[in-house]
Amino acid sequence: MLSLWCFNHAVAYLEIRELQKHFVKKAGGLLTSHTETVKAVDGVSLEIQKGEILGLVGESGCGKSTFSRTLMQLIPPTSGAIILNGENVSALSAKEVRKRRLDFQMVFQDPYASLNPRMTVFSTIAEAIRQRHKGMKGAELEKKVAELMATVGLDASQMKRYPHEFSGGQRQRIAIARALAPEPKLIIADEPVSALDVSIQSQILNLLKDLQRDLGLTMIFISHDLGVVHYIADRIAVMYKGKIVEVGSADEVFNRPTDDYTKRLLASIPKLRQD
Ligand SMILES: Nc1ncnc2c1ncn2[C@@H]1O[C@H](COP(=O)(O)OP(=O)(O)OP(=O)(O)O)[C@@H](O)[C@H]1O
Ligand SMILES: [Mg+2]
């Protein structure tokens, strides 16, 4: 009985409880000045299992990036808890947060803007490795950089090149290698293929899927495109105005949505594709 209970109630690898991030802004003119609260993330609760890709989808401005920045602890939450592997990381001191931040790595939309143009691929990836393995250097470091480049499908003989010498898709591979380098527990990919050509998009999506299978990667994949999210995610959470309106298996949400907003999002896909 006990084992059955444990099986049915497996503890989530990442648990997000009632997460809120509100921004208070000044609005109005000189005489009519008042403050306005933007509820960018408004009580999000989600559970993610180890090795799972959770897709987070929603229209522009619904709060996806604010959610990911709060999760990364780049900005403090207004309220709520983030529990990673049983530890409440939202209750740690600033020093502890800096250490734990290595466990959360991001891949951004624009791989060119997110890479330092003055650093070679070797320096970029080596720096990320040394965040976790401070003493690593010389041949050992070079071998590790070469391994990571091979993992993301890059030619390790090109490690002394600079970002501008690579294509957009290759640059996103560099950004993925950099994210993997500190051996994170979770990768948050915020619109990682939105800036890429459609033909390159599927290469990057397949790479992320391969990494999930081969490395047991746990990931939150953020996109405004339900079609892309359906392709890559195991489960999908739909966000609307800072709240999660629907969560389910990728096929359930894509093929049998229950929420009206999800239905509208789904209906907008063919229109977008015709453009
Ligand atoms: N630093 C900030 N100060 C005030 N308001 C903010 C701040 N950052 C985000 N917002 C507001 O929070 C809301 C959510 O923004 P966010 O960038 O998280 O949306 P998004 O879903 O990532 O959109 P997109 O798909 O366009 O990237 C928006 O109304 C935005 O204007
Ligand atoms: Mg965003």
Most ligand 1 atoms within 8 A of CB, residue of 35, 37, 64, 221 to mutate: 64
Instruction: For residue 39, give the ligand nearest its CA.
Output: 1
Q: What is the mean pLDDT of the chain?
A: 91
Mean pLDDT within 86-90: 90
For residue 63, the CA-to-ligand 1 centroid distance in Å is 5
pLDDT in tens, 10-24: 689 999 999 999 999
Res 131 pLDDT > 60: yes
Residues with CB under 6 A from ligand 1: 23, 25, 38, 40, 58, 60-66, 224
For residue 41, the CA-to-ligand 1 centroid distance in Å is 9
Burial of 257 (0-12, 13-18, 19+ CB in 10 A): buried
Residue closest by Cα to atom 3 of ligand 1: 23
Per the document, the length of the chain is 275
pLDDT in tens, 207-241: 999 999 999 999 999 999 999 999 999 999 999 99
Residues above pLDDT 90, as percent of the chain: 77
CB atoms within 10 A of CB 174: 24
For residue 224, the CA-to-ligand 2 centroid distance in Å is 9
Q: Hey, what domains does the chain have and what are their CATH numbers?
A: 8-24+37-274 (3.40.50.300)
For residue 232, what is the DSSP state? H
Question: So what's the pLDDT on residue 2?
Answer: 46
H or E element that contains 114: helix 111-114
For residue 185, what is the DSSP state? S
Question: So what's the pLDDT on residue 6?
Answer: 44
Nearest ligand 1 atom, CA 58: 21
Res 141 pLDDT > 60: yes
Statement: the pTM of the whole predicted model exceeds 0.85: yes
Mean pLDDT within 71-84: 93
168-180 and 138-151 are packed helices; what angle lies between their axes, rounded to 10 degrees?
120
Give the three-state DSSP class for 119: coil
**Using CA atoms, how far apart are residues 72 and 94, in angstroms rounded to an integer?**
13
Res 45 pLDDT > 60: yes
pLDDT in tens, 108-119: 998 888 999 999
